Amino acid sequence: MVRTSSSMAWRALCVLIGMMVFAEAGFAQQVVTPDTVTFLGHVVQMAPLEASGSAGASHVQGTVVLSVEVGTDGNVISAKAVSGPAALVPAAVDCAKQWKFRPFEKDGKKVIADGRLSFVFGAASGGQAPASKEKPKIMVVPVKDVTPANSPEARVEAKFQPLMEKCSGAVLHHAPDEETVSDCKQAADVAATFPPNTRYLEKRSAFVYAATAFANAGDSRDGEVYAQKAVAVVKRDHGDTPGNGAVYSTLGHIEAMQGDFVDADQNMTAAEDYDRKSIAWAKKNKEAAWVHEYEGALQADLRFHSLILRDMKRKHEAKKKLEEAEQLNP
């Protein structure tokens, strides 16, 4: 750990301002969780699916359930296995990522949708194993409603949503008070009770907002705890989802606030890498608004990182960060 004698004032100020930027840029997406009938009703293109490699050769059969996130443009952002034979998961994931959906909307605005699909890999005929040159029969069937009204997940959601609305509203309006901290901590703790492999974006957002609320109230120790929880969520095979830069940026801000510049330097570098991936995703999918948001996030990250490098006496690197930031025009 490296500590310097530099004033804590600029760090606290940057934590408050910088983290608000990332909360707005990386976590403003609304997410809906439609039932399966609605989810499948938005499908406009289904890709062909076939077992391949070792799965095809050994005639593995079974059902793979995927959690599928659909972006505001109707393209699949990610597809993660919830259950099913490991040998069949790659084929199901590859197929799902090629599907196209009619964009989902809430209150007249396009939103991200999180639903589930079940891919059934079965024998070609009569339940018998197919001949060596015969492809297996593969069906895509609906899963039961994602969140039935009386399910444990629905009960968690009912507790989570009002808390998260209060928390996010207060944080985005710069309210560093005990009530905000309490609301955000409760929202994060409730989000942690969602079942595994579900509600990735909700968990990520809740942990980052809780970390931000604690840091803004001057409690960097508890802020770091929740920032680390957000990082753990990203590391559970969700590295390809846009907006992950905000997670590492939040942790980097808190570490800098504590004077831990070595770890802050590493996490700000990770944040910038994720920001660039998010920009590339937005450009590829022609999401102009998100290009603007993610470029703004990258610019703010670069500027903050330059301050850390300056305090570490790495002036040349600090200058390069500022130069890159000035090249952006979000």
pLDDT of residue 312: 92
Round the average pLDDT of the chain to a whole number and report it: 78
Helix ranges restricted to H, the chain = 9-27, 36-41, 53-57, 89-96, 152-172, 178-191, 200-216, 220-235, 245-257, 261-284, 288-311, 315-327
Q: So what's the pLDDT on residue 31?
A: 76
Could you report the per-residue pLDDT of 115-124, keeping only the tens digit for each?
A: 888 787 764 4
Mean pLDDT of the 53-57 span = 46
pLDDT band at 210 (very low <50, low <70, confident <90, very high): very high
| Cα–Cα distance, 217 to 176 (Å, whole number) | 5
Please give the structure tokens belonging to residue 93.
């994931």
pTM tops 0.75: no
- 317, HSE (Cβ side, Cα atoms, 13 Å): 12
Q: Do the domains 9-31+150-327 and 36-141 sit in the same CATH topology, yes or no?
A: no
Neighbour-count burial for 233-243, b at 16+ CB within 10 Å, e otherwise: bbeeebeebbb
Mean pLDDT of 150-176: 80
Task: Indicate the domain borders of the chain.
Answer: 9-31+150-327, 36-141
Helices (H), 28-127: 36-41, 53-57, 89-96
Query: Which whole number is the average pLDDT over 134-161?
Result: 62
Q: How confident is the model at residue 198 (pLDDT cuts 50, 70, 90)?
A: confident
- Higher per-residue pLDDT: 138 or 233: 233
pLDDT (mean) for 156-168: 86
| CATH superfamily of this structure's domain 9-31+150-327 | Tetratricopeptide repeat domain (1.25.40.10)
Q: Is the pLDDT of residue 52 over 70?
A: no
Q: Tell me, what's the pLDDT at 321?
A: 95
Residue among 243, 285, 280, 248 nearest 265 (CA): 248
Lowest-pLDDT range, 40-49, 105-114, 272-281?
40-49
- Structure confidence by residue, pLDDT tens digits, 97-110: 888 898 888 877 88
Residue 297 has pLDDT above 60, yes or no: yes
More confident residue, 85 or 15: 85
Percent of the chain with pLDDT over 70: 75
Q: Which fold has domain 36-141?
A: TolA/TonB C-terminal domain (3.30.2420)
CA-to-CA distance for 15 and 18, rounded, in angstroms? 5
